[in-house]
Structure 1
Amino acid sequence: MINGMHKTRKFSSECFLRGKFYVLGGRDDNDKHLTCGQSYDETTDSWELIPDMLKDMTVIAHSQSPPLIAVVDDNLYMLEISLSELRVYDINTNIWKKVGVVPVSANAAFGWGIAFKSMGDRLLVIGTSHSWHRKTVVHSCRPSPDVEEQHWEEIKHWCVGAELPQFIHNCCVMFA
């Protein structure tokens, strides 16, 4: 059993980053969107509240997906769905920096129509293309927090001919 968090939440996103467990966003008991985050330190069995961790993120609908986050090379990335922007978190300043846009429609179905995952040293986005025929595409990049625009490559041999449903409820990426 571990100590309780400062704020209870549901529909949040979680990750391990630099030896701590982070919980971001979500909704409180009154269904209000939370902009704070929390980190758990196992060595001290304590939670640190991170006020306004998501203060610059746009809430586009009450039914919006939890924050789309992924960790690559000890950096936390987020997909800002309203603008299809990729952002990286500066843990020291509590600021998200824009590092480009993603090549898929991130705001499809209020963020539920896209998968955003890490795989080794890469980020993956799975969703529908920006083009008029709206086909399912998978793109990958090796992100860098110091670059203003990432280089995305389409992975052509995945999802060939597949049509994704409007909602991606869960996505797990595995490789050997």
Structure 2
Amino acid sequence: MLEGRSCLIPRPPLSSSGDQESTCFYMRYGIIKEGSEEEEEDEEKIDDRGKRRKSQDLVIASSSREIQIEQTPHERNDYSSVEDLIAPIGRDISINCLLSCSRSDYGSIASLNRSFRSLIRSGEIYKLRRRMGIAEHWVYFSCNVLEWEAYDPYRQRWIALPRMPPNECFMCSDKESLAVGTELLVFGKEVTSHIVLRYSMLTNSWSPGKEMNSPRCLFGSASLGEKAIVAGGTDARGNILSSAELYNSELQTWETLPSMNRPRKMCSGVFMDGKYYVIGGMASSTEVLTCGEEYDPIRGVWRLIANMSSGLKCASGAPPLVAVVNNKLYAADYASKEVREYDKVNNSWITLGRLPERHVSVNGWGVAFRACGERLMVIGGPRGLGGGMIELNSWIPDKNPPLWIMIASKHSGSFVYNCAVMSC
């Protein structure tokens, strides 16, 4: 059961491997359409099991007490009301109990009846979790073209997502990804236009996503709850942009924001202290930017920060590898293979220690550096094994030098093309 705020989920110690989870099993009932034959058959099986049992004890743990409920087959049929969910305790208490469950369990909970399935698929449960500050952080990444996987560090499970719909622009060109709310957005560039694909965790399926007001690629982005900001990048003609947009995943809308002070592409974005930061990037094919910019959502203005990303990017390198944990900004310096912390007061970087030695990158390409709740994670292929393996190393920042622990590994592509963390 979940208790308290974000990430406070009792779990066994993290291990170096996880069991492969079939998507059909893990989210089976989340992808069945209402009224389908398979759905009716599943409900009949549930009813049959109920008839064979004279009673069944259902123990529901709440934050203050445990409630013991006696179920009879007749009562069981009455629980299909969307208003009741668990009739004896009412809808509100039922939902409060579900909020304390891990989202790893929601696929099984959705199999109980139509009411639970409708609640899970509507996304209402995740909106309430967000208001209460409850979140679990899953890592989504792609090491093979059109294929995505997720790793649940709380249950130590690998989840295979449905294969992306085939499209040439995702086969041959650069892609960006962004996890926001319960969605994973993947952006690609065609010859003269852009394309967006949207994966919904609620339905476990891909569909066309909402296009930006000013479509772009090679931009910086970050999300906070159900909202995300993208800034900079290039348009279909290759022009470098200074514009920015806000995405609302609940409404699936894009809102144009004020433009940055400097056009930039191949930059990175993070949220910190309630503000959005764009770090580094390129002003042209040869000019590396060392400045960053801060956007205040309340005032709606950008502030230029000189030398914010000095030394974090080279002309041929990947965008700065940055992540925020507990409102502290960290960077993976792929040139020196060091992890650094940003000093907000002095606008400088402090070297903390080494990155995992086993991971290999090409000027920062092929490896991911992400915040996953209270942890920093480095995701990439190990050095010297000839590919075909992906490893996840994590470290909880403290006052000591980094001590990286490999929490999971599996056979896969060893080059990380895209990576995002979904927190909900």
- The match for 1:120 is 373
Q: TM-score, normalised by structure 2?
A: 0.37
Mapped contact 1:104–1:137 kept (Cα < 8 A): no
Q: Which residue of 335, 346, 353 maps to 1:82?
A: 335
The Cα of 1:58 is off from its aligned counterpart by 5.5
Q: Which residue of 155, 168, 173 maps to 2:407?
A: 155
Alpha-carbon distance in 1 for matches of 2:311, 2:288: 13
Mapped contact 1:83–1:106 kept (Cα < 8 A): no
- The match for 1:12 is 267
- The match for 1:44 is 299
**Gapped regions of structure 1 (runs ≥ 5):** none
Counting aligned pairs with the same residue, the percent is 34
Alpha-carbon distance in 1 for matches of 2:289, 2:359: 21
- The match for 2:385 is 133
Alpha-carbon distance in 2 for matches of 1:16, 1:64: 23
- The match for 1:32 is 287
The Cα of 1:30 is off from its aligned counterpart by 5.2
The Cα of 1:45 is off from its aligned counterpart by 1.3
2:274 corresponds to which letter in structure 1?
G
1:164 is the counterpart of 2:419: no
Mapped contact 1:37–1:49 kept (Cα < 8 A): yes
Mapped contact 1:8–1:29 kept (Cα < 8 A): no
The Cα of 1:173 is off from its aligned counterpart by 3.1
1:63 corresponds to which letter in structure 2?
S
Q: Which has the larger radius of gyration?
A: 2
Say what the alpha-carbon RMSD is for the aligned residues: 2.0
* 3-state SS, counterpart of residue 79 of structure 1: strand
1:143 is the counterpart of 2:393: no
The Cα of 1:133 is off from its aligned counterpart by 2.6
Alpha-carbon distance in 1 for matches of 2:278, 2:296: 12
1:100 is the counterpart of 2:353: yes
Mapped contact 1:81–1:107 kept (Cα < 8 A): no
- Of residues 44-53 and 101-110 in structure 1, the stretch that sits farther from structure 2 once superposed is 101-110
The Cα of 1:106 is off from its aligned counterpart by 5.9
Cα gap change, 1:152 to 1:93, in 2 (>3 Å): same
Mapped contact 2:266–2:318 kept (Cα < 8 A): yes
**Gapped regions of structure 2 (runs ≥ 5):** 1-255
Alpha-carbon distance in 2 for matches of 1:30, 1:58: 13
Cα gap change, 1:175 to 1:3, in 2 (>3 Å): closer
The Cα of 1:19 is off from its aligned counterpart by 1.1
- The match for 1:69 is 322
Alpha-carbon distance in 1 for matches of 2:298, 2:288: 30
Alpha-carbon distance in 1 for matches of 2:363, 2:393: 20
Q: Which residue of 234, 257, 260 maps to 1:2?
A: 257
Could you give the per-residue CA deviations for residues 20-44 of structure 1, whole angstroms, max 9, x where no partner exists?
Answer: 1000011014541100000001222
Instruction: Choose between structure 1 and 2: higher helix proportion.
Output: 2
The Cα of 1:105 is off from its aligned counterpart by 5.5
The Cα of 1:63 is off from its aligned counterpart by 2.4
* 3-state SS, counterpart of residue 421 of structure 2: coil
Alpha-carbon distance in 2 for matches of 1:175, 1:48: 28
Could you give the per-residue CA deviations for residues 31-81 of structure 1, whole angstroms, max 9, x where no partner exists?
Answer: 41100000001222111100011223362xx32100001110110110000
Mapped contact 2:279–2:292 kept (Cα < 8 A): yes
1:164 corresponds to which letter in structure 2?
S
Mapped contact 2:343–2:349 kept (Cα < 8 A): yes
Could you give the per-residue CA deviations for residues 102-137 of structure 1, whole angstroms, max 9, x where no partner exists?
Answer: 11466621111101111110011011334x336532
Alpha-carbon distance in 2 for matches of 1:50, 1:115: 25
Mapped contact 2:360–2:381 kept (Cα < 8 A): no
